[in-house]
Structure 1
Amino acid sequence: MSEHSQFTLLAKRRFLPYFLTQALGAFNDNLYKNALLLMIAFGGISSEENSALLTNLAAGIFILPFFLFSPIAGQIADKMEKSQLIRWVKGLELLIMSLAAVSVLAGNVWGLMALLFLMGLQSAIFGPVKFALLPQHLSRDELVGGNALVEMGTFIAILGGTICAGVLFDFSNSSQWIAASVVAFAVLGLLSSRFIPTAAANDPGLTINWNPFTEVVNTLKQAKQNRAVFLSIVAISWFWFIGASYLTQFPNFSKQYLGGSTQLVTLLLTLFSLGVAAGSLLCERLSGHKVELGIVPIGSIGMSVFGIDLWFAIDQLQVSDGMSAMAFLQASANWRLMMDIALVSAFGGLFVVPLQALIQQRSDDKNRAQIIAANNVLNALFMVASAALGIVLLALLELSIGDYFLVLALMNLAVAAYVYAQVPEFVLRFCIWILSHTMYRVSHKGLENIPEEGPAVLVCNHVSYVDALLIAGTYQRPIRFVMDKTIAQMPGLKTFFKYAKTIPICSPKADADMYETAFQRIKAELEAGELVCIFPEGKLTKDGDVDEFKKGIERIISETPVPVVPMALQGLWGSFFSHKDGHALTTKPKRFWSKVSLTAGAAVTPDSVTADGLRDKVLGLMQ
């Protein structure tokens, strides 16, 4: 896998037009929505008595189509060629915005509210096709970087559209400026969509269920079929719950704690949006161009740590009534608060991007857009729930906003713990990621020899107690490891090996039943299309050399003929977990940090597999 920057995607036609189209859409959505809210509150198109009602009604009207029409939109996106569908959606946006321009100029508040519903409908249709298209235009090692850029572009577009609405509203001829702008950005989005390359339909023969209520149920049922995907959707929805909770409270937070300046509301929004963008972009660097679930727990931990610190930072604020953004920035006592807000959102970016990529990668090709539609439905539901929680805690229980932020941070820990308990893969990958980025620096080559789909056996030399963890950390597919029961059941590592579905084995003399059970499990895993890794030496090396390969590999292949990929680990001899100068873990380590390399050779066909031949190939990879 060659090293590359995610920003190189912005120079490719298969990504740039799509990126611009979705960013312009998010910008225009927020320009129109926030311009409408400002017109309701300050523009004189509604009475003071009903402005609060209309403001809350507008928020509900925009999100309602995501509940009703996302499942239908997911079916349409799976059935149709995606680039053409996007162009139709952007054409619909231009029509809606042209009508909106007329309503803005006429000051027709109910016309604007109806068109806001249609904009929500247009966004609901665009959502599934937007993310379902990515896996078709990007390779596996580009998927995380592409999602990171989309997440960055979305939040910067949301910020830009919100700020633009405020700037245009302050112009003397604000109605004309707003009307012209929403149409202009819709035109730009339509033009950019014309350059999106073709993306074939996932399931052209799909029969669409046009009943939005029954299809919501069907869509959620489909998502639940893959537990890891469904809980990833729940985790993404929780991210939007947290984000919506913070963003909704920033105006009142500024009023109660920061002197009430509208400039500071914009500053907080900017910090939050740029934080998500930065965290999203950092994902590719930390994940090594692959869907790395190990950084998801890092994201959730960071969100809570800095959310809790935000509560403490409030007591140190140095503010005055009507304080400008520049004056706030110049007071060093306020830097901690700003840092906390930026880091809460940055770790949120680390949290959500790998989950988005996982859903796209692990969803079935035929119904990927429908799974993404289920994600959109739950996202909307969680955002509504965040508003309800805010009402209960802030209005009914009269909690302060600072205490409310603390509650969010603590709730985040509880939700994260639940998700990780249900899908231990997150915790396992987290431990692997920490190990491979602290004690060991792992480089690899030849991993393209390992099949991306279907069964295969991986054979590797055995140097240390962490060989399996390091191998698992270098390759994206789950691997079932066969290892000596004394290693698989070691205190401290036993839990991780259990989560990884390790297959313990021992000599037939020690335990004949376990020996036979191991071979039965290996056969079952291979027949299920999984990767199985064995260490044919049967034990850790005691002298650093590769020992004789046992004949068990020949039995495995004779019972289940599959390709065998030889691999070689180097750089672990002498580390704390190896047997150099004594038993591993019992002697003073020579070093705690090692450069480790993993090399995979060309696959050996089943009819050519011998234990001695595989040992020779492993030795050859170490030359």
Structure 2
Amino acid sequence: MSKPSQFSLLTQRRFAPFFWVQFLGAFNDNLFKTALMVILAFEAASWTSMSASTVTNLIPGLFILPYVVFSATAGQIADKFEKAGLSRLVKWLEVAIMLMAGLGWMTHTLWLLIAAVVGMGMHSTLFGPVKYAYLPQQLKPEELMGGNGVIEMGTFVGILLGQVLGAVLVAYKGIGIELVAGATVAVAVIGLLASYRIPLTPAPAPDLRINWNPVTETLRNIGHSAKNRTVFLSMLGNSWFWFYGALILAQFPVYAKDYLHGDHSVFVLLLTVFSLGVGTGSLLCEKLSGHKVEIGLVPFGSIGLSLFGVDLYFASQGYLNTEAVAWLGFLAQAGALRILFDVVMIGVFGGFFIVPLFALIQIRCEAAHLSRTIAGMNILNALFMVAATGVAIALLGQGFTIPELFLTTAILNAVVAVYIFSLVPEFLMRFLAWMLIHTIHRVKTIDADRIPESGPAVLVCNHVSYVDAIVIGAASPRPIRFVMDHRIFKMPLLGWIFRTAKAIPIAPAKEDPWLMEKAFVDIAQALHEGDLVCIFPEGRLTTTGEMNEFKGGITKIVERSKVPVIPMALRGLWGHLLSRSQDNVFERAFRKGWRSSLALAVGQPVAADHVTPELLRAQVAELRGDWK
């Protein structure tokens, strides 16, 4: 029986009211902020003596400031108090803030609007941990992924619609400010009404003693996250994206007005194509990753962020129009489509960058500490976004133009990416594997869900070519420790990839008995630590396309480590340029062709007590079938 769609949750009370509360909160935040940034970018002189670029960079920084100070405290509050009541309290706070902002709009009082910016930042800070704590209490484990996906989709749509509507309403001739004031109060009231439909959700830790010192609690959260190196560096990568995005987006109002000579509609156009780009990239991640967490997309996304950020600088330099234009007039200008293409591609590659990072944090973090890790990441995100505001103001104060700011950010992104990927080479290794599998070959996986998502296991597979391990590694949802002939480690590119992947070198006993024994010790240690280990029991590449006899090493492994063994079979690699086929190299190249088909079939796990080389060979042969 097929499982119900994740969107069916939108018809259920345990999910739908909470979804709409979250959606309307994100929508209202962005409607208000965008309207304020637009009015100050285009009519700054009538509101303040500060420059438009300073104010438009200051507002996002003030909004995010409460995240820095109060995220750790908000996480404790979310654990201590019942979630439905806390949601209603937060929505009452939103109504009060929007009424204050309405007074600021109607009286032309900027400091009231700035105070409302900080207030909405506090509102979002308080509600953020509730979102992550509510879903596990109301949804079944098998519904969590779908529920989180719908929430994130709703947040993205709410942000986009809020930004667009805020820019459109405030620009409405004669009554724009009144429309914004009324709309923000109305949306807050609708969110409050929705919050009264959220079902009772008991506090998981009602006796928790809250540490009201935000400094010590923040340090405790980040310190705990730092214990897991891969997770912490992924959090830093995640935060860097928010730095990049905050710095770029904050420039759009002034960029549209002073550099593109456009009106409000040109700013809305830039905002829309960027948001659609991020959404497109995020949705493409699932297809490009083969429905698993594929961190090889992270370097791919980083390359695109830098490449199109640099091109946005050059495209801006080539834009020569000096007459005021609306969005249709802008589209007719020479160079306009190139600018829009760069903006949308920055969004697309941003999606490639951020989605796998967030998923990696979720799967690599200890389940018992995921909430604290997310809280630590929110704090880092906020710090990076505040830093983006400071960097933008400082560079613009030094005489940088906005296109030069785009160029500087793109170059910084390349430097940060190289640094992070040097600390965690797994990202780059997975990227190279992903590129190989998605450019040269088309790989189909059969029953890949039989590879366990956690815990130790030994994978056994037929050995056809020098890229077998790359194909298997790219298809696996988690890292694999491959046991490989020590001579492969001396090959130029493949050797570097396998060393980076912590492959285990092995040699025949007659050639190097010490290295062979060390390999078995390393295998036992890897399995003890809960890793996946893959071996090729034939011990050498096939020279005929047929499977060789399986050696007895697998028996020695399961005698030491009582773990399941999972048979797998590669199909379609025989005749590959890196196989040992004796056919002419050019004939092999043309026979396989570009984007040739491969398959990896995964069998049922075999208990350690039933493992024999003969049984495993028979199962692998059956999985492979006649397709070599």
Fold-level match, TM-score > 0.5?
yes
Is the contact between residue 155 and residue 274 of structure 1 (CA under 8 Å) also seen in structure 2? no
Distance 1:569 1:542 in 2: 15
Amino acid at match of 2:314: F
Is the contact between residue 551 and residue 611 of structure 1 (CA under 8 Å) also seen in structure 2? yes
Would the alpha carbon gap of residues 459 and 18 (structure 1) be closer, same or farther in structure 2, given more than 3 Å must change?
farther
Distance 1:199 1:589 in 2: 62
Amino acid at match of 1:256: D
Question: Residue in 1 aligned with 2:377?
Answer: 375
Distance 2:173 2:311 in 1: 39
> C-alpha displacement at 1:8, in angstroms?
8.3
| DSSP-derived class of the 2:356 partner | helix
Question: Residue in 2 aligned with 1:180?
Answer: 182
Is the contact between residue 6 and residue 284 of structure 1 (CA under 8 Å) also seen in structure 2? no
Is the contact between residue 506 and residue 515 of structure 1 (CA under 8 Å) also seen in structure 2? yes
> C-alpha displacement at 1:353, in angstroms?
1.4
Amino acid at match of 2:546: D
Distance 1:343 1:501 in 2: 34
| DSSP-derived class of the 1:437 partner | helix
134-143 or 121-130: bigger deviation = 134-143
319-328 or 582-591: bigger deviation = 582-591
Question: Residue in 1 aligned with 2:543?
Answer: 542
2:282 corresponds, among 263, 274, 280, to 280
1:63 aligns with 2:64: yes
Distance 1:614 1:120 in 2: 59
> C-alpha displacement at 1:314, in angstroms?
2.2
Is the contact between residue 148 and residue 284 of structure 1 (CA under 8 Å) also seen in structure 2? no
Would the alpha carbon gap of residues 250 and 97 (structure 1) be closer, same or farther in structure 2, given more than 3 Å must change?
closer
Q: Deviations over 1:136-178 (max 9, x none)?
A: 85979995x8777666644543343233334444365556543
Distance 2:15 2:490 in 1: 47
Question: Residue in 2 aligned with 1:291?
Answer: 293
Would the alpha carbon gap of residues 450 and 280 (structure 1) be closer, same or farther in structure 2, given more than 3 Å must change?
closer
Once the two structures are superposed, the pairs formed by residues 352-501 of structure 1 within 5 Å of their partners are 352-396=354-398, 398-501=399-502
> C-alpha displacement at 1:564, in angstroms?
1.1
Question: Residue in 2 aligned with 1:28?
Answer: 28
545-554 or 368-377: bigger deviation = 368-377
1:581 aligns with 2:578: no
| DSSP-derived class of the 2:439 partner | coil
Question: Residue in 1 aligned with 2:117?
Answer: 116
Distance 1:376 1:361 in 2: 17
Question: Residue in 1 aligned with 2:508?
Answer: 507
> C-alpha displacement at 1:126, in angstroms?
2.3
> C-alpha displacement at 1:513, in angstroms?
0.8
Once the two structures are superposed, the pairs formed by residues 149-160 of structure 1 within 5 Å of their partners are 153-160=154-161
526-535 or 444-453: bigger deviation = 444-453
Percent identity over the alignment is 48
Distance 1:484 1:49 in 2: 70
| DSSP-derived class of the 2:335 partner | helix
Distance 1:473 1:164 in 2: 42
Structure 1 unaligned blocks of 5 or more: none
Amino acid at match of 1:29: D
Distance 1:4 1:280 in 2: 22
Amino acid at match of 2:258: Q
Once the two structures are superposed, the pairs formed by residues 74-223 of structure 1 within 5 Å of their partners are 74-77=75-78, 86=87, 88-97=89-98, 100-101=101-102, 110-131=111-132, 143=145, 153-169=154-170, 170=172, 172=174, 177-190=179-192, 192=194, 207-223=209-225
Is the contact between residue 25 and residue 186 of structure 1 (CA under 8 Å) also seen in structure 2? yes
Q: Deviations over 1:469-507 (max 9, x none)?
A: 111111212111112212344221111101111111111
Distance 1:468 1:377 in 2: 39
Is the contact between residue 91 and residue 195 of structure 2 (CA under 8 Å) also seen in structure 1? yes
Is the contact between residue 240 and residue 384 of structure 2 (CA under 8 Å) also seen in structure 1? yes
97-106 or 359-368: bigger deviation = 97-106
> C-alpha displacement at 1:113, in angstroms?
4.1
> C-alpha displacement at 1:22, in angstroms?
2.8
Amino acid at match of 2:184: V
> C-alpha displacement at 1:328, in angstroms?
0.9
> C-alpha displacement at 1:326, in angstroms?
0.8
Q: Deviations over 1:558-588 (max 9, x none)?
A: 1111111111111111111211116999986
Distance 2:256 2:44 in 1: 24
Amino acid at match of 1:126: F
Q: Deviations over 1:524-554 (max 9, x none)?
A: 1111111111111111111111211111111
Amino acid at match of 1:27: F
Is the contact between residue 56 and residue 251 of structure 2 (CA under 8 Å) also seen in structure 1? no
Amino acid at match of 1:401: I
Amino acid at match of 2:190: L
| DSSP-derived class of the 2:533 partner | strand
Question: Residue in 1 aligned with 2:611?
Answer: 609
Amino acid at match of 1:369: S
Would the alpha carbon gap of residues 253 and 112 (structure 1) be closer, same or farther in structure 2, given more than 3 Å must change?
closer
Distance 1:12 1:441 in 2: 40
Is the contact between residue 44 and residue 51 of structure 2 (CA under 8 Å) also seen in structure 1? no
Would the alpha carbon gap of residues 472 and 82 (structure 1) be closer, same or farther in structure 2, given more than 3 Å must change?
farther
| DSSP-derived class of the 1:339 partner | helix
Would the alpha carbon gap of residues 473 and 38 (structure 1) be closer, same or farther in structure 2, given more than 3 Å must change?
closer
Is the contact between residue 83 and residue 199 of structure 1 (CA under 8 Å) also seen in structure 2? yes
Is the contact between residue 578 and residue 584 of structure 1 (CA under 8 Å) also seen in structure 2? no
Amino acid at match of 2:612: T
Distance 2:6 2:29 in 1: 26
Distance 1:427 1:461 in 2: 26
Amino acid at match of 2:405: Y
Distance 2:199 2:605 in 1: 35
Once the two structures are superposed, the pairs formed by residues 31-42 of structure 1 within 5 Å of their partners are 31-36=31-36
Is the contact between residue 425 and residue 500 of structure 1 (CA under 8 Å) also seen in structure 2? yes
Distance 2:319 2:427 in 1: 37
Is the contact between residue 142 and residue 290 of structure 1 (CA under 8 Å) also seen in structure 2? no
Is the contact between residue 165 and residue 178 of structure 1 (CA under 8 Å) also seen in structure 2? yes
Amino acid at match of 1:560: S
2:232 corresponds, among 230, 233, 237, to 230
Is the contact between residue 458 and residue 563 of structure 2 (CA under 8 Å) also seen in structure 1? yes
Amino acid at match of 2:33: K
Would the alpha carbon gap of residues 401 and 40 (structure 1) be closer, same or farther in structure 2, given more than 3 Å must change?
closer
Structure 2 unaligned blocks of 5 or more: none
Would the alpha carbon gap of residues 109 and 255 (structure 1) be closer, same or farther in structure 2, given more than 3 Å must change?
closer
> Normalized against structure 2, the TM-score is what?
0.88
Would the alpha carbon gap of residues 520 and 106 (structure 1) be closer, same or farther in structure 2, given more than 3 Å must change?
same
Would the alpha carbon gap of residues 515 and 579 (structure 1) be closer, same or farther in structure 2, given more than 3 Å must change?
same
Amino acid at match of 1:547: N
Would the alpha carbon gap of residues 496 and 318 (structure 1) be closer, same or farther in structure 2, given more than 3 Å must change?
same
> Normalized against structure 1, the TM-score is what?
0.89
Amino acid at match of 1:223: S
> C-alpha displacement at 1:117, in angstroms?
2.7
Q: Deviations over 1:407-430 (max 9, x none)?
A: 111111111111111111111111
Superposition RMSD on alpha carbons, in Å? Answer: 3.5
Once the two structures are superposed, the pairs formed by residues 303-382 of structure 1 within 5 Å of their partners are 303-382=305-384
